Amino acid sequence: MNQKNNELPIGPLHVYGYDAANILMEAIEKATIRDKDNTLHIGRQALRNALQATSGYPGLTGDIHCDKFGDCSSPRINIVRLDGTTTGFEELRDNVKYTYTPQKDK
């Protein structure tokens, strides 16, 4: 439930965008250098290093770890069945038929 607007998420994939945005913002904070005159600099390699160093990030999709290729996902795919249209997203969440979690090299 979105507390600000008091509404449900519009779809099941919003959590990935939320996690990605938060990981990126934290990496930007880590990679930013402030000059004496308060000018901010964000080096591309420094940002890349900060993203790749992400490990154990407590995201909505689970603990997120990034690898040397920049893949920062923690995939867990739910196979669901929608029997009706009255409850929408809530019904999908409550009707998981199978969860696939691939093994990932760390």
* pLDDT at 47 (0 to 100): 94
* pLDDT at 28 (0 to 100): 96
Residue 69 domain-assigned?
Answer: yes
* pLDDT at 91 (0 to 100): 67
Largest CA distance in the chain: 61
Residue 9 domain-assigned?
Answer: no
* pLDDT at 8 (0 to 100): 65
Mean pLDDT (whole number) for 17-26: 91
* pLDDT at 59 (0 to 100): 85
Pairing of β 96-100 and β 77-80? antiparallel
Range of the domain at 84: 14-100
Residue 85 domain-assigned?
Answer: yes
Residue 37 domain-assigned?
Answer: yes
The model's pTM = 0.63
Q: What is the pLDDT of residues 41-53, one digit of tens each?
A: 999 999 999 999 9
Query: Is residue 42 within 8 Å of 35, Cβ to Cβ?
Result: no
Domain count along the chain: 1
Residue 25 domain-assigned?
Answer: yes
Residue 77 domain-assigned?
Answer: yes
